[in-house]
Amino acid sequence: MRRRSAFAALLSLAALAVVPEGAPRVAHADAPPRPHIVHIVADDLGWKDVGFHGAEFATPHIDSIAAAGVRLEGFYAQPFCTQTRACLMTGRYPFRYGLQTAVILSAHGYGLATDELTTPQALAAAGYSTALVGKWHLGHGDRKYWPGARGFQRSYGPLIGEIDYFSHEQHGVLDWYRDGKPVREEGYSTTLLGDEAVRTIEGHDPKSPLYLYLAFNAPHAPYQAEKAVEDRFPAIADPTRRTYAAMVAAMDDQIGRVLAALEKKGMRGDTLIVFHSDNGGTRDSQFSGEVDTSKIRIPCDNGPYRDGKGNYYEGGTRVVAAACWPGHIPAGKTVDGVMHAVDMLPTFAAVAGASLASSKPLDGLDMGAVMAGTAPSPRTEVVLGVEMQRAALRQGPWKLVWRATLPSKTELFDLSKDPYEKEDLAASQTERVLAMKARVDELARVSVPSLLVGTEMNEVRARLKRPPVIAGEDPFAIDDDEHGAK
């Protein structure tokens, strides 16, 4: 049976309401509205780094999405890029397919398991045109992981994503592709992604539904902006913060062009737009990525939320988010209901009338009614992560943050009273802590082993076959192997 969303149900009710008394019921009144879906994802954007959360620089176009619809103030993601993108594509938590640890590094060959049903596969089967414009980060070492093999009819942008914004290279290797072929192009990557998103909309036949996944690599490190945009922020004294503001502003400019293109094409009123970051802003240079940021002041701002990217506190996982869809999502409201990145696939599938029958069991839930403000969130639990060394779980207002490696550390917070995680209640809530740890253990037992840990252990095993490293007369001559050089 086809899933029907709250959006679809509302539309059906509205359709019935305008049918005159005695007139025949229209047979297709039950059909889902099948909106276009534009899913915009920012990379490592701080919670506070948008105008509507109080940034000191303006983001008028991102703000306009929130103003035309709802702020999603209970929106969770994973603490790292790959993990959240995997959630968005599968509706399932990363520990179910081995992506629970950090990210796929540029030197890694593994990717998102190819037996997972992806969002573009599900939507394409329902008649949607599917386009990825932006960062993928779900596997680059084998073509079977590339977006074209995973459901996207068109794709453009970086496969990995931590690129130089001008050369589009990572470690000196080009990471910029169109439909699976590397392309050398001039221009600031954020602008190029905006150009392509606009082209995609302009070239689309509005009569058929479009799924555009617009995944900016901004404002992820390296911190690079165009000077003309930086010059818009003379009042920001810190140079890295000024650059970062310009990176966010450049992304906001491009989002503005996308909104204008939808308007011009007559699609805006029939488009569900969801915007969010893939994880919290970076606060610790060890989690900024592969470039060295240890010598600069990290520029992201998560406002009052604790810590940032890479860890399970709210600053790493509760991200800025907004959604709009005229006539279906009320304008200017705030939705506090808890939701997670895994919920996007079921939510999109419901409004699209797409079948998820061939998916493995989903962790995600349809959040259509929550976004519409007609129902509270059905989500009673958020699994923020289950790894071999640590985990975090939210149940109702309670949040467990567990470092299982020695020396271990267990923290429990009541987010209803302490959203900024200042008061650890673990010592006074021992039974609750035990029950939540038991739940984590249960999930750990059904986890697929971490592909990152397995890959790195293979590196250790390869070392077993290497000759001994024995100190010679020159103390500087022996260190290459120890430092990972080939």
Q: Considering beta carbons, is residue 72 or 77 the nearer one to Ca ion? A: 77
Which stretch, 33-41, 73-81, 111-119, 205-213, contacts Ca ion (CB under 5 A)?
73-81
Minimum CB separation of residue 319 from Ca ion in Å reads 10
CA dist., res. 61 & res. 399, Å (int): 33
- Other Cβ atoms within 10 Å of 375 Cβ, number: 14
Tell which positions 21-50 bind Ca ion, by CB under 5 A. 43-44
Smallest distance from the beta carbon of 290 to Ca ion, in angstroms? 12
Does residue 204 carry a catalytic annotation?
no
Report the residue number whose CB is nearest to Ca ion: 81
Taking the CA of residue 195 as centre, how many other CA atoms within 13 Å lie in the half-sphere pointing to its CB? 10
Query: Minimum distance from CB of 299 to Ca ion (Å)?
Result: 14
Return d(Cα 470, Cα 477) in angstroms, integer.
Answer: 10
Closest contact distance (angstroms) between CB of 397 and Ca ion is 27
Q: Does 279 bind Ca ion (CB under 5 A)?
A: yes
Q: Is 137 a catalytic residue?
A: yes
Q: Which is nearer to Ca ion, 44 or 307 (by Cβ)?
A: 44
Q: Which is nearer to Ca ion, 190 or 279 (CB)?
A: 279
Tell me the site size for Ca ion, rule CB under 5 A: 5
Asked if 202 and 262 touch (Cβ cutoff 8 Å), the reply is no
278 binds Ca ion (CB under 5 A): yes
Of 90 and 288, nearer to Ca ion (C-beta) is 288
Out of 39, 53, 108, 137, which one is annotated catalytic? 137
Q: In 10 A of CB 203, how many CB atoms?
A: 11
Q: Which of 36, 39, 61, 81 is catalytic?
A: 81
Range in contact with Ca ion (rule: CB under 5 A) among 51-59, 122-130, 140-148, 277-285: 277-285
DSSP state of 318: B
* CB 278 to Ca ion: min, Å: 4
351 touches 37 (CB < 8 A): yes
Binding mask 232-271 for Ca ion (x = CB under 5 A): ----------------------------------------
- Alpha-carbon distance of 101 to 443, in angstroms, equals 15
Q: Which is nearer to Ca ion, 51 or 308 (CB)?
A: 308
Q: Does the CA dihedral 347-119-325-69 come out positive or negative? A: positive
3-state secondary structure of 197: helix
Q: Output 29-32 pairs: Cβ under 8 A, ≥24 positions apart.
A: 30/4, 31/353, 32/2, 32/4, 32/5, 32/7, 32/8, 32/350, 32/351, 32/352, 32/353
E-state strands within 222-302? 271-277
* Part of the chain binding Ca ion (CB under 5 A), chosen from 47-55, 146-154, 188-196, 273-281: 273-281
43 versus 63: smaller Cβ distance to Ca ion: 43
Amino acid at 36: H
Cα–Cα nearest to 251, from 66, 53, 62: 62
- State the minimum distance, in angstroms, from the CB of residue 422 to Ca ion: 26
The contact mask relative to Ca ion for 79-118 (x = CB under 5 A, - = no) is --x-------------------------------------
Of residues 316-345, which lie at the interface with Ca ion (CB under 5 A)? none
Binding mask 426-465 for Ca ion (x = CB under 5 A): ----------------------------------------
Residues 6+ apart with CB under 8 A from 421: 306, 313, 314, 399, 401, 411, 413, 415
Please name which of 369, 364, 362, 423 lies closest in space to residue 398, comparing C-alpha atoms.
423
For 230, phi then psi, to 5°, come to -60, -35
Quote the distance between the C-alpha of residue 76 and its chain's center. 9
Q: C-beta of 41: minimal distance to Ca ion in Å?
A: 9
Closer of 46 and 147 to Ca ion (Cβ)? 46
- 393 in contact with Ca ion (CB under 5 A): no
- Point out the residues that are catalytic: 81, 137
Binding residues (CB under 5 A) for Ca ion: these are 43-44, 81, 278-279
